[in-house]
Amino acid sequence: MNAFKKRIYEVIEVSSIGDASSRAYDILMTTTVIVGMIPLTLKADNIYTFIIEIMTGIIFLIDYCARVYTADYKMGYISIHAYFAYVLTPLAIFDLLSVMPILYVFFPTSQSLRLLKLIRVFRVVKLVRYSKTMIVIANVLRKVKKQLLAVLILITIYIFVSAMLVFQLEPNLFDNFFDALYWATISITTIGYGDISPTTDIGRFITMISALVGVAVIALPSGMITAAYMNEISRKKSKYEL
């Protein structure tokens, strides 16, 4: 039984042993994720979307059950607590959310279950597990998450400050504070749709500063991610050379 469980774990992990079965499973799950997104490109459900949902839902359910079944190998220790710890991990939660839309197929008239259709979009997260490139990117983001969080906090503070300043300096420009936040966000991202633009000199000056800050803000995390990505690639190359 332990050999059977270990073999399942080796297959469902991303090419953990590099054999044909593991690679075939990765291709199957990647294809299932892509096919499962097709219903979101259509305005209305039909017999084909229901078939797609049932088939992909069953595959996702089997995958979820297999991963829970081998959770002790995944978590690295043999205990009942390993199963509970695994089901609370982010990827396991997304795996469960990927299965839930199948309930809408059996209860299509339920208004409360119609929101389950939108949960299909979370299936994209599963691609991280089945792509080596995505795994590298995920590792990179994990390493610089504190720096990115600091940049995000800085951006948020600046958006609120600039929105409050212009909201007070341009009283006739915004209907409410949310409009000011909208203006500050598109200004700092240098998009500038032009649907809301200050008319006073001080308002335009703040807009100019926001655009310049936006250039720096975009460059800062880009540099962090690029440096971390190059380090990750170098680390993998060194590992393979050894």
What would the pLDDT profile of 35-86 be if each residue is shown by its tens digit? 888 887 877 778 888 888 889 889 989 988 988 888 887 777 777 788 888 8
User: What is the C-alpha to C-alpha distance for residues 8 and 153, in angstroms, rounded to an integer?
Assistant: 42
Contacts of 98 (CB under 8 A, 6+ apart): 36, 60, 64, 119, 120, 122, 123, 126
Confidence at residue 80, expressed as pLDDT on a 0 to 100 scale: 79
User: What is the C-alpha to C-alpha distance for residues 160 and 54, in angstroms, rounded to an integer?
Assistant: 45
Cα–Cα separations (whole angstroms), residue 117 to 43, 62, 124, 233: 12, 20, 14, 38
Predicted model pTM: 0.63
- Which DSSP category does 242 fall into? -
All domains in the chain, ordered by first residue = 2-130 (1.20.120), 145-241 (1.10.287.70)
Q: Are 105 and 55 in contact (CB under 8 A)?
A: no
Residue with tokens 């299932």: 32
User: What band does 201 get if pLDDT is binned at 50, 70 and 90?
Assistant: confident
Confidence at residue 15, expressed as pLDDT on a 0 to 100 scale: 53
pLDDT tens sequence across 145-185: 888 888 888 888 888 988 898 888 887 888 888 988 998 88
Residue-wise DSSP of 144-180:
THHHHHHHHHHHHHHHHHHHHHHHHH-TTT-SSHHHH
- Number of other CB atoms surrounding residue 97 within 10 Å: 19
pLDDT tens sequence across 128-148: 776 666 777 777 888 888 888
Confidence at residue 142, expressed as pLDDT on a 0 to 100 scale: 80
Alpha helices in 70-169 (DSSP H): 71-75, 80-87, 90-99, 102-106, 127-130, 132-143, 145-169
